[in-house]
Structure 1
Amino acid sequence: MQKFGLVLIIISFLPWLIIAVIVPFIPISLAQKAILVPALLVLAEVLFWLGALLVGKEVVQKYRRYLNFRYLNILVKRWKRKNRKR
C-alpha cells in the first residue's frame, strides 16, 4: 500500500503541470478554463492526501521537513559555502 500511496503523491503533481503547461493553450472558453483550474486543484489535493494517508505519518513528516522554510534556508547556506570554497 505504501508504494501505491507514493504513486498517488507523485501523480498529484500532474494536475499542477497540466494547469501551468496545457490549460492556457486549450481552445476552450475562459469560463470553461475557470472551472477546469479549480477542479484540477481539488483533484491534486485529493490525490495527495489519499497518498499521504496510505504512506503513513513518517513519510508525510519527512516531506513537510523538506518544505520547511528553515530547512530550505539551511540547505541554501550550505550550498553557498560549498560553492565559495571552489
Structure 2
Amino acid sequence: MQKLGIFLIVFSFLPWVVILLVVPLLPLAIAQKAILVPILAVVAEIAFWVGLVLVGKEAATKYRRYLNLGAIWKSVKKLIRPKKRSN
C-alpha cells in the first residue's frame, strides 16, 4: 500500500505539468480548456491526498517539514550567506 501511495503522490504532479505545458497547446476551444483545467486540478489533488493517506502519518509529517516555507527560507539563506571566518 505504501508503494501505491508514493506512486499516487508522484503521479499527482503530472496533471499540473499537463495544465501548464500541454493544455495551452491543445487545439480546443477556450471553453473546453476552461473545463479541462479544473478537472485535471481536482484529479491531481485527489491523487495527492489519497496517496498521502496511504503512505501514512509519518510520511505526511516529513513532507510537511520539507515544504515548510520557514525551513526553506533558512536553507536558502545558508546557501546565500557565506560563513564568517574567525581568526
User: Normalised by the size of structure 1, how large is the TM-score?
Assistant: 0.92
Q: Partner of 2:4 in structure 1?
A: 4
List alignment gaps of at least 5 residues for structure 1.
none
User: Normalised by the size of structure 2, how large is the TM-score?
Assistant: 0.91
Q: Larger % of helix: which?
A: 1
Correspondence 1:2-81 to 2 at 5 A: 2-81=2-81
CA radius of gyration, larger in: 2
Partner Cα separation in structure 1 for residue 84 and residue 33 of structure 2:
46
Name the amino acid aligned to 1:36: L
Give the % identical residues. Answer: 53
Name the amino acid aligned to 2:27: P
Partner Cα separation in structure 2 for residue 46 and residue 10 of structure 1:
12
Calculate the aligned-residue CA RMSD, in Å.
Answer: 1.7
Per-residue deviation, residues 4-51 of structure 1 (Å, max 9, x unmatched): 100000000000000000000000000000000000000000000110
List alignment gaps of at least 5 residues for structure 2.
none
